């Protein structure tokens, strides 16, 4: 198949591109390097089935020739990024999704949206099944990301229902692994980098808030299975293993052998208190579940950051 990946120079987009090429597809990667890096695609230079196009997907996407699938992954994803890039975040989630849907319709491609557990906001139902509508502050600082993704889901379902477009929506829960930017601000990369550099480990709030961390290879496998499935409604893909932020800090400190102090900082506005995917549907529909436990995934990720920071 000929496939387009938006956000291909990002953390997840680059891993997805690798997987699609490994499955013998041809891939056009598209990115404007807003939060991504050429380094994430450097290993694909000269690959006969890979092509890169620099483009802002919030603008009309010019295209010639056939296209079988579009994976729309372009969007700032770290809270630090989307708080600094509120308008770009809203535009890529709304206008960017609309452009990708239009291109999918024009070419007959299947459309795949990278949505997020943030559509559940600060959830009042725990763990979160796909049927939960969420608890989002639309005008809070995180609203730029949450509402862009909720709009993206809504317009994707509208294209599916009104135009009969083939669509898939994944709700991704906190995913980590190699190729995250050392300073992108997300908790796993922050803690590892701080621990390796002997800097204070910054815990926001009292560290009792929870997240459920999925290793990148597990996530990409779930995504590829979902793309090939018949499911048009949103599907949770994530690891239900739930940890407090404080537990993660201790784990990272222990695994890196670091002497870093724990430093407590104010909790950001609207920071979800808990988050854990209900993956009953993914298990049943895709025969998928995560196989990499947190400790194992952290070994790989710590190794990666050691190399990046050392080099
Ligand atoms: P990332 O910041 O590493 O990658 C995003 C990529 O999109 C970057 O390369 C960036 O330059 C590109 N981009 C942003 N705006 C663009 C635009 N207008 N035009 C072209 N390219 C643009 O983030 P990530 O973690 O790889 O996230 C990828 C996708 O997965 C995002 O849509 C995000 O919302 C979603 N997601 C990720 C997670 C996670 O835990 N990593 C969780 C939920 C959802
Ligand atoms: N967090 C933290 N210290 C950091 C970065 C994040 O305590 O240096 C917390 C953050 O407040 C949140 C959790 O870790 O409760 C996960 O944050 P992240 O930015 O990774 O993503 P989120 O799940 O909030 O989208």
Q: What is the residue with the minimal CA distance to atom 23 of ligand 2?
A: 174
Catalytic residue (choose from 82, 120, 132, 145): 145
Ligand 1 contacts CB of residue 239 (under 6 A): no
The atom of ligand 1 lying closest to the CA of 175 is: 40
Structure confidence at residue 221 (pLDDT): 98
Q: Is 145 a catalytic residue?
A: yes
Q: Could you tell me which residues come within 8 angstroms of residue 139 by beta carbon, excluding any fewer than 6 positions away?
A: none
Which of the four pLDDT bands, split at 50, 70 and 90, describes residue 175? Answer: very high
Is the confidence at residue 242, as pLDDT, over 80?
yes
Is the confidence at residue 190, as pLDDT, over 70?
yes
Task: Give the count of beta carbons closer than 10 Å to the beta carbon of residue 77.
Answer: 23
Which of the four pLDDT bands, split at 50, 70 and 90, describes residue 178? Answer: very high
HSE at residue 30, side-chain half, CA atoms within 13 A, is: 23
Q: Could you tell me which residues come within 8 angstroms of residue 173 by beta carbon, excluding any fewer than 6 positions away?
A: 117, 211, 212, 214, 236, 237, 238, 239, 275, 276, 277
For the chain, percent of residues with pLDDT exceeding 90 = 99
**Which of the listed CATH numbers 3.90.25.10, 3.40.50.2300, 3.40.50.620, 1.10.150.20 matches domain 176-211+241-276+292-310?**
3.90.25.10
Identify whether the C-beta of residue 165 lies closer than 8 Å to the C-beta of residue 111. yes
Could you identify the residue written with the tokens 């988050």? 275
Ligand nearest to the CA of residue 32, numbered in listed order: 1
Ligand nearest to the CA of residue 176, numbered in listed order: 1
Structure confidence at residue 101 (pLDDT): 98
Which carries the bigger pLDDT value, residue 311 or residue 104?
A: 104
The atom of ligand 2 lying closest to the CA of 174 is: 23
| Per-residue pLDDT tens over the stretch 91-103 | 999 999 999 999 9
Q: What SS3 class is residue 19? A: helix
Identify whether the C-beta of residue 71 lies closer than 8 Å to the C-beta of residue 18. no
Q: What is the pTM of this model?
A: 0.98
Alpha carbon of 113 to ligand 1 centroid (Å):
11
Q: What is the residue with the minimal CA distance to atom 16 of ligand 2?
A: 187
* Nearest alpha-carbon partner for 89 in 136, 146, 37: 146
How far is it between the farthest Cα atoms of the chain? Answer: 57
Structure confidence at residue 311 (pLDDT): 64
Which of the four pLDDT bands, split at 50, 70 and 90, describes residue 205? Answer: very high
Fold classified for 2-175+215-237: Rossmann fold (3.40.50)
Sign of CA dihedral 184, 185, 189, 195: positive
Q: What SS3 class is residue 18? A: helix
Which of the four pLDDT bands, split at 50, 70 and 90, describes residue 246? Answer: very high
* Nearest alpha-carbon partner for 195 in 241, 244, 248, 265: 248
Mean of pLDDT values over 241-261? 97
Which of the four pLDDT bands, split at 50, 70 and 90, describes residue 287? Answer: very high
| Per-residue pLDDT tens over the stretch 212-229 | 999 999 999 999 999 999
Ligand nearest to the CA of residue 185, numbered in listed order: 2
Structure confidence at residue 145 (pLDDT): 98
Mean of pLDDT values over 219-241? 98
Mean of pLDDT values over 161-168? 98
Question: Buried b / exposed e across 172-192, counting CB within 10 Å, b at 16+?
Answer: bbbbbbbbbbeebbbbbbbbb
Is the confidence at residue 25, as pLDDT, over 80?
yes
Is the confidence at residue 146, as pLDDT, over 90?
yes
Domain with CATH 3.40.50.720 in the chain: 2-175+215-237
Q: What is the residue with the minimal CA distance to atom 21 of ligand 1?
A: 31
Tokens of 96: 């960017």
Q: What are the Cα distances from residue 10, in Å, to 137, 222, 247, 286?
A: 27, 18, 27, 25
Structure confidence at residue 4 (pLDDT): 98
Domain with CATH 3.90.25.10 in the chain: 176-211+241-276+292-310
């Amino acid at each position: 198949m000929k496939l387009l990946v938006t956000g291909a120079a990002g953390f997840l987009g680059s891993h997805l591109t690798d997987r699609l090429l490994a499955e013998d597809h041809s891939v056009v990667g598209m990115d404007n390097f807003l939060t991504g890096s050429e380094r994430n695609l450097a290993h694909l230079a000269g690959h006969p089935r890979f092509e890169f196009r620099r483009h802002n997907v919030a603008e009309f996407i010019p295209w010639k020739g056939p296209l079988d699938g579009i994976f729309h992954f372009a969007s700032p994803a770290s809270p630090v990024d989307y708080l600094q890039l509120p308008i770009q975040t809203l535009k890529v989630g709304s206008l960017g999704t609309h452009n990708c849907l239009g291109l999918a319709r024009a070419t007959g491609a299947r459309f795949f949206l990278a949505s997020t557990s943030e559509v559940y906001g600060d959830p009042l139902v725990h763990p979160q099944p796909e049927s939960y509508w969420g608890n989002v502050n639309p005008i809070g600082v995180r609203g730029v990301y949450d509402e862009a993704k909720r709009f993206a889901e809504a317009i994707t379902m509208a294209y599916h229902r009104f135009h009969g477009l083939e669509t898939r929506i994944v709700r991704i829960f906190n995913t980590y692994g190699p190729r995250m930017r050392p300073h992108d601000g997300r908790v796993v990369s922050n803690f590892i980098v701080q621990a390796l550099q002997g800097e204070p480990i910054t815990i926001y709030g009292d560290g009792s808030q929870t997240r459920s961390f999925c290793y990148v290879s597990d996530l990409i496998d779930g995504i590829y299975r979902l793309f090939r499935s018949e499911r048009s409604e949103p599907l949770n893909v994530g690891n239900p293993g739930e940890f407090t932020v404080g537990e993660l800090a201790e784990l990272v400190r222990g695994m890196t052998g670091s002497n870093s102090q724990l430093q407590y900082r104010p909790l950001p506005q609207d920071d979800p208190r808990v988050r854990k995917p209900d993956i009953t549907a993914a298990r049943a529909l895709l025969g998928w579940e995560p196989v990499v436990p947190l400790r194992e995934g952290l070994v790989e990720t710590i190794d990666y950051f050691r190399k990046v920071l050392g080099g």
